[in-house]
Amino acid sequence: MSGTAQIGVTGLAVMGRNLARNFARNGLTVAVHNRSRSRTDALVEEFGSEGTFVPAGSAEEFVAALERPRRLVIMVKAGEPTDAVIQEFVPLLEPGDVIIDGGNAHFEDTRRRERELRERGIHFVGAGISGGEEGALNGPSIMPGGPAESYESLGPLLERIAAKAPDGTPCVSHVGPDGAGHFVKMVHNGIEYADMQLIGEAYHLLREVAGYSPAKIAETFRGWNDGRLDSYLIEITAQVLAHTDAETGKPFVDVVADRAEQKGTGRWTVQIALDLGVPVSGIAEAVFARSLSGHAELREASRSLPGPVAEPLDEAAAARFADRVEQALYASKVVSYTQGFHQIQAGSEAYDWGVDPGAVAALWRAGCIIRAAFLDRIRAAYDGRPELPSLLADKDFAAEIGAAQEDWREVVATAARQGVPAPGFAAALAYYDALRAPRLPATLTQGQRDYFGAHTYRRTDRDGAFHTLWGGDRSEVTA
d(CA 228, CA 221): 12
Q: How deeply is 167 buried, as exposed, middle or buried, from its count of CB atoms within 10 A (0-12, 13-18, 19+)? A: exposed
Contact 366, 446 (CB under 8 A): no
Q: How deeply is 91 buried, as exposed, middle or buried, from its count of CB atoms within 10 A (0-12, 13-18, 19+)? A: exposed
* 314 Cβ neighbours under 8 A, 6+ residues apart: none
Cis, peptide link before residue 69, omega less than 30° from 0: yes
Q: How many CB atoms neighbour CB 13 within 10 A?
A: 13
From 114, 149, 192, 326, active-site residue = 192
Q: Which residues pair with 56 in a beta bridge?
A: 33
Q: Is 333 a catalytic residue?
A: no
d(CA 424, CA 417): 16
From 46, 67, 134, 185, active-site residue = 185
**Residue 113 φ/ψ region, left for φ over 0, alpha for ψ in the -120 to 50 degree band, beta for the rest:** alpha
Kindly state the helix (H) or strand (E) to which residue 465 belongs, with its residue range: strand 465-468
Q: How many CB atoms neighbour CB 405 within 10 A?
A: 17
Q: Is 185 a catalytic residue?
A: yes
Contact 137, 47 (CB under 8 A): no
Contact 170, 53 (CB under 8 A): no
Contact 20, 40 (CB under 8 A): no
User: So which residues are the catalytic ones?
Assistant: 185, 192
